[in-house]
Amino acid sequence: MGARVITITSGKGGVGKTTVTANLGVALAMRGQRVVVIDADIGLRNLDVMLGLENRIVYDLVDVVENRCRLRQAMVRDKRLQELYLLPAAQTRDKTAVRPEDMVRVCDELRDSFDFLLVDSPAGIEQGFRNAVAPADEVLIVTNPEVAAVRDADRVIGLIEAEGKGPARLIINRLKPDLVRRGDMLNTDAVIELLAIDLIGIIPEDEAVITAANTGRPVAFTDNSLAGRAFHDIARRLLGEEVPFGPLKEPGFLGRLLRWMRAEGEESP
């Protein structure tokens, strides 16, 4: 029992797995959950910079697996929140340094002390992917509304089912409502129908995600952005709330003004 282990994966690279993992970690921790985000992308460590924790890393996952430190020593606490920890990947090793059974063992050791373990999977369907999926109780697939990303998502959904880890749930990231309205982007219904899978969230394309990556402060820390709110909606759904899939409209002039005023207020505490 204990923690739910949720792996975030995609098949295709660059669709937003790390962004989703960091933001769900923040959103769940803001809701009082005890969370560890685990970077399973060995050799291409990303989750640390996404969370702005890159300067506080001493040990990493490979050090834990190879018994150079205790698990707790490798975990970096995010001081901005009560209970959010990062278990970083090694940057200078390759994915063969960790085996699926290592991931299972590490997660089992954490289960009793936490509510959520979020595992950020590397792209692809090789060992790094298998490492990430091995400990999973649940799987979230991230895709973009594009032909190649959806195709790879379908492949991964099949593999997850074959592993007995299904049914996976889908996050559509980087949706552009304007393009959808014009008919020039795959719409949500089309993607869901093609993949025959349940949807757990839709994240719009949002500049705030890029500035957040620049500063190391994920958008989910505030509800100033559409993407930030979309991540909180997913967190609420993970916690069992029924949250309707609202329209992803930009706020009007008044909304923008409010947002600006709130953002200004935040800068000077």
Number of residues that bind other proteins (CB under 8 A): 18
Out of 24, 209, 234, 248, name the contact with ligand ATP by CB under 6 A. Answer: 209
Q: Which stretch binds other proteins (CB under 8 A): 8-16, 177-185, 205-213, 224-232?
A: 177-185
Among 11, 16, 25, 218, which residue interacts with ligand ATP (rule: CB under 6 A)?
16
151 binds, among ligand ATP, Mg ion, other proteins, none (CB under 5 to 8 A by kind): other proteins
Amino acid at 43: G
Work out which of 39, 60, 115, 205 binds ligand ATP, going by CB under 6 A. 205
Report residue 163 as tokens: 């592993």
Residues 158, 188 contacting (CB under 8 angstroms):
no
CA 10, 109, 220 angle in degrees (round to 5)?
45
Instruction: Classify residue 247 as exposed, middle or buried by CB count within 10 Å of its CB (0-12, 13-18, 19+).
Output: exposed
CA distances from 223 to 37, 219, 230, 232 (A): 21, 8, 9, 8
Contacts of 212 by beta carbon, 8 Å cutoff, 6+ apart = 218, 219
**CB of 176: closest distance to other proteins in angstroms?**
11
Region 12-31 residues binding Mg ion, contact defined as CB under 5 A: 17-18
Least distance CB 135 / Mg ion (angstroms): 18
Which stretches does DSSP call E strand in 88-232? 116-120, 138-143, 169-175, 198-204
Q: How far is the CB of 62 from ligand ATP (least distance, A)?
A: 18
Q: Which of 9, 23, 46, 173 binds Mg ion (CB under 5 A)?
A: 46
Residue from 13, 32, 158, 167 in contact with other proteins (CB under 8 A) = 158
**DSSP tag of 267:** H
Nearer to other proteins, 188 or 224 (CB): 188
Q: Could you list the residues that contact ligand ATP (CB under 6 A)?
A: 10, 13-19, 41, 46, 122-123, 173-174, 203, 205-206, 209-210, 213, 227
